[in-house]
Structure 1
Amino acid sequence: MKSIDAKLVVLGSQGVGKTSVVVRYVSNTFNGHLSPTIGASFFTCKMMVDNYRLRIQVWDTAGQERFRAMAPMYYRKSNAAILVYDITSLESFDDMKSWVQELQKNTDGDLAMCVFGNKCDLEDQREVDNNLALQFAASIGARHFQVSALSSEGLKLEKLI
């Protein structure tokens, strides 16, 4: 059996639910009272995919502007990135353009990217049109997913090992 190690960085503005998405995926739990991330948090996720043992180092970066200068050191040698926005905040969606620019400046080689529209459980408060988000994701070569850290909707949980 082959093993693969990968580094995944999670980016987005403050309050979009990056940590909640990561915690939901890694431990299948939700805590509505998480403190803002300072710098970055680190998680390890292990799973089996098509006879490969995959170990993912997940770097959950801080979204606060005051920690923005530190973020590029967390991007280095990343294999993948998840850009998270809050579907109830057009501002958080617009901010993703600058996060993509940061990634492109501070990473080398191919980087797999996904865009997560978090908080899809708040559909009645939606400010970001799903078609607009799909177009943006396509424009940067990324896939787009509507997710909810609260309900786990859209966060397919693979069998962890």
Structure 2
Amino acid sequence: MLEEKERERNMGSEYKVVLLGEGAVGKTSILLQYTKRKFESDHIMTIQASFRSKVLNIVDQTITLNLWDTAGQEKFHSLALVYYRDANAAVLVYDVTDRDSFDRVQNWVQELVKNVDGKPILAIAANKTDLPKSQHVISSEEGREYAEKVGAQFFETSAKDVETLNPMFLHIAKNLQQQHRGRNSTENGRSTRTLKIEDDSAPEVSTGGGCGC
């Protein structure tokens, strides 16, 4: 039994994470830097969506983040739903030098609430922080305040520096892991209570708690 539980604990889990935001805020650059440690100085326009994976090891467990980069242009918004409606987590990206991109994050949050089942993990990325402070039109305080308001974690990022991206995706992975374990623990508890209700005369059964993720 212990060996079986250990095997289950070490089994990998996969989660879908979508990057949402307006065009040219740096979603594709973030994805390339995080997964390939590569930065493209020229803007790359995403058509519909692109996909990359990142494997992490957290507490002896393998976790795969399937990362979807969605197109930000207005003409592709209706297609974005296809890619994010079954997401486990979302990174909402804005450009700290572009007020409109920050305002549009609010629309993305509303769309997620309306179209995604369950409660996805949310992170808000204030991107392009490598640019001179004189160009910033969204302060850290304003971004952090909005993130707290919608139940998201706030991160200041630069697609040029992977060290600003690692904490954000690690936060997402750990919270997805915790969320999954909590859900499995709840389901195991319900299963145990149901057994006792159905047959009071049956011998007491001990069921192992924990997660098989």
TM-score norm. by structure 2 comes to 0.71
Number of aligned residues: 159
CA contact 1:2–1:51 (8 Å) conserved in 2 = no
Q: What letter corresponds to residue 144 of structure 1 in structure 2?
A: F
1:141 — aligned with what?
A: 151
Q: Deviations over 1:12-66 (max 9, x none)?
A: 0011000001111111110112420010101111111111101111110000000
Instruction: Pick from 101, 116, 123 the counterpart of residue 92 of structure 1.
Output: 101
What are structure 1's unaligned runs of at least 5 residues? none
CA contact 2:52–2:67 (8 Å) conserved in 1 = yes
Matched position secondary structure for 2:47: coil
Moved more, 37-46 or 25-34: 25-34
Instruction: Write the mapping of 1:4-153 to structure 2, written as runs, cut at 5 A.
Output: 4-122=13-131, 123-153=133-163
* Structure 1 ranges of 4+ moved more than 3 A: none
Q: CA RMSD in A?
A: 1.6
Distance 1:2 1:153 in 2: 27
Greater percentage in strand: 1
Q: Deviations over 1:75-121 (max 9, x none)?
A: 12211000000001111101101011111111000100000000000
Distance 1:86 1:153 in 2: 18
Distance 1:155 1:35 in 2: 19
- Greater C-alpha radius of gyration: 2
Greater percentage in helix: 2
Matched position secondary structure for 1:120: coil
Percentage of identical aligned residues:
39
Instruction: Pick from 166, 174, 177 the counterpart of residue 156 of structure 1.
Output: 166
Distance 1:154 1:50 in 2: 22
